[in-house]
A = this chain, B = another copy of it.
């Protein structure tokens, strides 16, 4: 269904243009001009009640007069006329319509109503809508330009391995322009605007299925359909398509602006961030970074490892790049000893370790430099070669000789990704690119991009090995507040380990239960009305005998009744004192956009001072839980510091995965779950949660 719709939208054999204008710079004129000059081979049906021809093409007075239902209709009419135009499209049996006009949901209540009317009209048939308030689409392979974006004024964009899916038309245009400027072809380009129907997730899902697509530059302010979005990300991982995502609204001001800007529920940015990490999407912080990484994905061959050999003519540049490489997770592995000797023989002043510094002398003897680099690449077995040329190639005569020398030096290095940094005019850069080099002006940008493609590769590999998380079973959760004992009973069924415990009701003598538990033990008040037990004297530690337990119970009931006279008290809970282990906290909450989200963090100052917590959407499996645990700053605590034993990270990961599966299958029944603290014991000894709180669905 989606497939045929998106095919009609992005691969149409016929297109109707409602509001077609003779003026090639108007919204109704520009798409027609593009379609006429691009070489588009499909049929074009301009619709204009006042003219027989528009820009020299035969026009039709209305949609009903078209000889056939076009695959896609472009609606270049004012907002006020759009509802009727959509009705006409629906009646004609058109499959998809792109609504350019603004003035809908983004513009206030009247616009919202109009947007809904338009959607209702479309839903009466199978008509699907893109927009409103969008800049449309293009498919450069088919030379189909269903857009009025000015970015194509003067120059089209060549098709290529990059595609762009953007909520914002202006952002989509800007980044398309930057791709072109960088020499990157763009195949499919979709802007979704207000997303009254087709959203960026649906468009993304189609784009990542196209065989020409290697990388998608995505932009969003928020997501409407969790499942569509996740499905698109999963498909991208399976197909080895890299997604470089710009999600705005990181900051408080930004998030506020985002919700005033679109009708989207922005969702919590933290959760969004977790989703992207979970599904192997690279979240870019800047537009420049998006382009830099897309360039690397597009131009680099297969990424097979992270070892980087740096070749420089000046030590300082080499060091700078080595610094950046370490931060980017690349391995600046030294040359093998024997190879170092060989390089030293070729060039006695060279520093042959890595960075390999041939010094400025190397350029005075290019054949020698060629031999030197060839030896470096052959013996170094690097996955990446990065040569630093500085401003040398800005002189055209020298640039050609140098390019020739580098090409000869690297011609056998087929399994090595060849990169250069230089500043030079664009035609010189294209010449180097034609020889298979990735060229960056800034060394830091190159290294950052290489780090990103290694990361993307690792994510894609990990996704292949990863079993889908199974869903947990449905367990009935009472739709009322529960006491701790009840909450533990439910979560125990979900696989969360708790210490043995005994519930003793208000009237019952606790001695027998206490003896079964053993000493020392803990007593806690059991009351659905008192989630914060300490504050009302509802926790007593270090009880060492049945007599102490009996006395403590009486004291606790007296005190709690005094401090919380309105609370209904069910009784007390007895459990063994647990000491040692590492304190962590685990929670689940229901996000408006993404559903149940599992949170994990270390207890104490890590959570309270450093906010050292991380998130995943449910469900996920053991491996993902492991990644989640290891990405908090304090994870070294769990691996054992100061001679402590390593903690049972495996058991913790199991617990998190089980909880996530329970959460996914029972999301409709709860608002949130807290397990605080969860004690992680030394390896092999498991984990145990000491408290539990479930807030049922409101």
Contacts and interface: CB of A to CB of B under 8 A. Distances in A.
A254 B634 contact: no
A217 interface: no
A257 interface: yes
A213 to B, nearest CB: 22
Contact of A443 (B287, B423, B637): B287
Nearest to A423: B177
Contact of A320 (B248, B314, B319, B609): B248
Interface residues of A, number: 86
Given A315-B262, A395-B153, A288 B444 contact: yes
Contacts of A103: 349
A610 B609 contact: no
A326 B261 CA distance: 18
B351 A151 contact: no
A401 interface: no
A390 B178 CA distance: 10
B246 A320 contact: yes
A390 to B, nearest CB: 5
Contact of A316 (B107, B170, B394, B442): B170
A195 interface: no
A57 interface: no
Contact of A248 (B249, B285, B319): B319
A633 interface: yes
Interface in A138-153: 150-151, 153
A605 interface: yes
A116 interface: no
Contacts of A169: 314
A253 B322 contact: yes
B444 A287 contact: yes
Contacts of A325: 251, 253
Interface stretch (A354-362, A464-472, A614-622): A354-362
A273 B605 CA distance: 27
A81 B619 CA distance: 75
A323 interface: yes
Interface in A307-351: 313-320, 322-327, 332, 349, 351
A665 B246 CA distance: 53
A258 interface: yes
Contacts of A177: 391, 394, 423
A260 interface: yes
A455 interface: no
A264 B407 CA distance: 35
Contacts of A395: 150, 153-154
A353 B258 CA distance: 12
For chain A, what secondary structure do more than half of its interface residues adopt (helix, strand, loop), or is it mixed?
helix
A392 interface: yes
Interface string A438-476: 000011110000000000000000000000000000000
A313 B395 CA distance: 40
A96 interface: no
A250 interface: yes
A286 interface: yes
A427 to B, nearest CB: 15
A609 B609 CA distance: 14
Given A257-B315, A316-B167, A444-B285, A326 B610 contact: no
Interface string A263-301: 000000000000000000000011110000000000000
A567 interface: no
Q: In this complex, which of A178, A286, A315, A636 has the most chain B Cβ atoms within 10 angstroms of its Cβ?
A: A315
Nearest to A257: B319
A519 interface: no
Interface in A470-501: none
Contacts of A171: 314, 316-317, 320
Given A151-B391, A251-B325, A443-B287, A353 B257 contact: yes
Contacts of A641: 605, 608-609
A219 interface: yes
A168 interface: yes
A168 B444 CA distance: 18
A313 to B, nearest CB: 7
A322 B260 contact: no
A252 interface: yes
B322 A251 contact: yes
Contacts of A361: 102
Contact of A173 (B181, B260, B390): B390
Nearest to A313: B170
A178 B423 contact: yes
Contacts of A156: none
A642 interface: yes
B316 A221 contact: yes
User: 9 tightest CB-CB pairs across the interface, nearest first?
Assistant: A170-B314, A261-B315, A168-B316, A251-B326, A286-B444, A254-B323, A248-B319, A254-B322, A250-B323
17 contacts: A102-B361, A103-B349, A150-B391, A150-B395, A153-B395, A167-B316, A177-B394, A221-B319, A248-B316, A251-B325, A257-B318, A257-B353, A261-B315, A261-B319, A288-B445, A605-B605, A608-B641
